[in-house]
Structure 1
Amino acid sequence: MLHDLVARYGPALVFVNALAASLGLPVPAMPTLIAFGAMAALHPASIGAQLLPVLVLAVFASVAGDSVWFFAGRYYGGATLKTLCRLSLSRDTCVKKTERFFGRWGVRVLTVSKLVPGLSLLSVPMAGAVGVPYRAFVAHDGIGAAIWATLGLAVGVMVSRQVDWLLGAFNRLGPRSLFVVAALLAAYAGYRWLRRRALNAKLVDARIAVDELHALMSGEPAPVVLDIRSDEKRQLEPYVIPGAQLADERRLDEIIAAYRPDQKVVIYCSCPNEVSAAWMAKKLIEAGFHDVLPLKGGIDAWRDAGRAVASLPLRADDEGRPEGQSAPRAA
């Protein structure tokens, strides 16, 4: 029965699963590719002949879904990245690493992004936001999708015996197997969500509000304000809180050496969850600083409150920018 279902609906299932995964739904497509590859190895006469069509369908579905996020990044810029940041179950630091990885390698990162958990979260819409030509995007994203799909099918062929045993166990469970899979996915998503919620709850009392920071900046001595957004995010949103110093949390020793421990320090980033700012505040306190707080809501909350921002200079040309990447777009 399982053989008949895979032979008849397997390609359609792979297409739908790959499309849903690329659109950002919590339905990983790699297990489906592995299962289909295993069934193809076990039944080469019937299912094996569908390997190439399934590979093409998986690549097409992946590129189609990614194209939606690409154009969302192209037309909505930083707003799309903020939406993904809110929806992501990953820490903000992971998001920042993705931004920096894209900033270093440009559109070429799309050839491997599907193989690195979390990397494709922002790399696809960022390609649109920074002005990568759609033709270059499709070429690199298509190569990445082909590598990803080929790897999944190949792994399925190599572990076909083990997958056969696992599918047999699910087959014996019957319809209950679907509930088992759904329960495992729900448990995983729930665990990630609860962990992130617990982390955010710890930050509630250890933050400074926009109005409080604005009042402090009008007095003496004014606090030190550190902007720790990635360079890539600053290119998309080329403005800062007036008087803020650009800082990189990876160079913590330089920051510690540049300021006195008795100075009040306020740190802000861009992602709404402020985990990066809270992490750096914690490190500075551990280094001997007495009064360090992240800004509640980051720079977005500052702008939403109607406070003034200062412009950052944009680069006049594309010199030194990664291959396939054009001038950045402001949000």
Structure 2
Amino acid sequence: MILDILAQLDPYLVGGVLMAVLILDNTLLTGLVVPADASILVAGAALTGPAEILPVAVVGTIGCCLGASGGWLLGHRYGSRVRHSRAGRWVGEHRWARAERIATGDGGGPALAAAHFLPVVNSLIPVLAGALGMPYRSFIRWALLGGAAWVTTYLTLGSLAAEFVRENQHLTVPLAACAALLVAGLAVIGRRARATRAARAESETSDASGEPGTAGALDGPGGSGSAGVSAPGGSPEPETASRPPR
């Protein structure tokens, strides 16, 4: 069983791999492909008890801070070029906009710390913080606090979940089925929500760019605009040319 294989791994090896993953998460934005949340949960599944979780959490927090520093430097040096590059366009403007709202919103430092728990967005915020000129000392302080809470929480959840599954292996299949249904349901809900937002944005754009209807500036009766006088039958009566006297 996979959990049994993970349980046999050396905690120091788990910590070293997790540290490398978290450095790359913000520096090379690998979290856009494989969210770091999943990596931390898997690392937690290889640990048992606080004696193993604590040192790995410390090493993971260091990796998180190093990755956040690399992302901040990337944004500080290259600015918006990262956002508008090919990779940035692949990420999606809506994700960049969401990360920017967090980085520049009224929540301040606590919002930056809590953003670690938002998959994908947490990989973009360090780059945006550097691009927006946020002071490094202020940024790294909250990145350290949020990273420590994020890594420790997910390691603990992964360890508890793995221990529960090991002790209740007869529930593995039903729980996996429920988890698959939950993930599928969330995916459908998210897709419909994105489609609704896209349709609303398209509607607002078309309303803003639509031209007002042209008023009929017709001179003739009934808006016909004809210079001739309408005959009783509805067709305009032709004008008769004046004849010269004989």
TM-score, scaled relative to structure 1: 0.46
For the residue of structure 1 that corresponds to 2:134, the secondary structure is coil
**Which residue pairs with 1:263 in the alignment?**
none
Matched pairs, number: 184
**Which residue pairs with 1:14 in the alignment?**
18
Q: Is the 8 A contact 2:35 2:119 kept in 1?
A: no
More strand by share: 1
| 1:76 counterpart (64, 75, 78) | 78
Question: Do the aligned partners of residues 165 and 35 (structure 1) sit closer, same or farther apart at CA in structure 2, a change above 3 Å counting?
Answer: farther
Q: Distance in 2 between matches of 1:31 and 1:126?
A: 23
Q: Does 1:86 align with 2:7?
A: no
Trace 1:91-170 onto structure 2 (pairs within 5 A). 92-104=93-105, 105-164=107-166
| 1:282 counterpart (197, 203, 206) | 203
**Which residue pairs with 1:27 in the alignment?**
34
Question: Do the aligned partners of residues 7 and 121 (structure 1) sit closer, same or farther apart at CA in structure 2, a change above 3 Å counting?
Answer: closer
The percent identity for this pair of structures is 22
4+ long deviations beyond 6 Å: none
What amino acid maps onto 2:34 in structure 1?
V
Answer with 1 or 2: which has the greater Rg. 2
Can you give the 5+ residue segments of structure 1 that lack an aligned partner in the other structure?
168-190, 200-274, 292-331
Q: Distance in 1 between matches of 2:55 and 2:163?
A: 23
What amino acid maps onto 1:62 in structure 2?
C
Q: Distance in 2 between matches of 1:133 and 1:152?
A: 28
1:139 shift after superposition: 0.6
TM-score, scaled relative to structure 2: 0.60
1:8 shift after superposition: 5.7
Question: Do the aligned partners of residues 80 and 165 (structure 1) sit closer, same or farther apart at CA in structure 2, a change above 3 Å counting?
Answer: farther
Q: Distance in 2 between matches of 1:279 and 1:143?
A: 37
1:123 shift after superposition: 2.0
What amino acid maps onto 1:17 in structure 2?
V
Q: Distance in 1 between matches of 2:123 and 2:18?
A: 21
